[in-house]
Amino acid sequence: MAGRRVAVVTGASSGMGRAAAVHLAAEGYRVFAATRFPDRLADVASKNLTPLLIDLRDDADVRAALESIERLDLLVNNAGYGLVGAVEYVDETLMREQFEVNVFGLLRVTRAAIPKMRENGGVIVNISSFLGKIGLPLLTFYNATKYAVEGITDSLRYELSPFHIRVHSILPGFFDTEFARSNLVKEPRTFESDSPYAVLASTLAPRIVEEINGGNDPEEVARLIAWIDQNPDAPARMTAGEKAKKFIPMRRELSDEDFERRVREYYGFA
């Protein structure tokens, strides 16, 4: 790898973002670990890793943060959270906030990063999810944001390739991060005992949380990010973790109806 590359990693205070920031710094990158909670990175801050205060919901804040960086070679769009709830009950505020962070936040950072990359090229890695290709009940809004990330990735690959900016996505399965403990927001009505979704919520949600908490090590995603950056022929999208490696190939191979049948059987849906 020629020269010292500069990276920005969003959502870097925990989980995959923290693992990516630490891993890249250990490989010699100059890493700006972007987060609303920079104090949480005090234990890993170093000459290679600088916490960067940023609120992805504020366009002026995003632009100011990126302008403070002289150059940028690698952008890792990792920040996001999951909203769990029945569409019938999720109100406008919760609905918009899910897209505000997971989609518009990603677009704001990307938009501010492009001018810094256009002259010398660069790499953008969007941390999507295997749920960007597979729907699950009660995760409709999270699914929709990750489907959007996949569409953004596809389109930007065409749009930015003339400037030698590569765009990729990683579709992780379930990983043992703070996601289930800190980054899941529940719509309360869905989980009430008299909710028509009570049975589904009481069986599916605990299983998903269990699968996340028992998931793969986020270091796997961190290594994959570095590999994509360092390999110009890396594929457009890559999977990480057991669930993604199981379901994504199955999604490609089966008809919509057959795949839906498999998912229903796996999770025990009616």
Q: What are the tens digits of pLDDT across the range 217-238?
A: 889 999 999 999 999 999 999 9
Q: What is the average pLDDT across 10-21?
A: 95
Q: What is the pLDDT of residues 35-64, one digit of tens each?
A: 999 999 999 999 999 999 999 999 999 999
Residue 28 vs residues 49, 225, 229: alpha-carbon distances, Å:
10, 14, 13
- The rounded distance, in Å, linking the Cα atoms of 117 and 130 is 28
Q: How confident is the model at residue 242 (pLDDT cuts 50, 70, 90)?
A: confident
Rounded Cα–Cα distance for residues 88 and 187 (Å)? 10
pTM (2 d.p.): 0.93
- Residue count of the chain, please give it: 270
132 by Cβ neighbours in 10 Å (0-12 / 13-18 / 19+) ranks as: buried
pLDDT at 269 over 60: yes
Q: What is the pLDDT of residue 3?
A: 67
The average pLDDT across 93-115 equals: 97
The one-letter amino acid at 123: V
Q: Which residues are catalytic?
A: 142
Would you list the domain boundaries of the chain?
Answer: 6-267
Separation between Cα atoms, residue 174 and residue 82, nearest integer Å: 12
pLDDT of residue 181: 56
Mean pLDDT of 7-19: 95
pLDDT at position 184 is 78
Are 201 and 138 in contact, with CB atoms under 8 Å apart?
yes
* Widest Cα–Cα separation across the chain: 61
The pLDDT tens digits of the residues spanning 139-182 come to: 999 999 999 999 999 999 999 999 999 999 999 988 766 554 55
CATH superfamily of 6-267: NAD(P)-binding Rossmann-like Domain (3.40.50.720)
pLDDT at residue 212 in the model: 74
Confirm if 268 and 203 have CB atoms less than 8 A apart. yes
The per-type count for the chain, helices as H runs and strands as E runs, is 10, 9
pLDDT band at 1 (very low <50, low <70, confident <90, very high): very low
**Burial class of residue 185 in the structure, from the number of CB atoms within 10 Å of its CB (0-12 exposed, 13-18 middle, 19+ buried):** middle
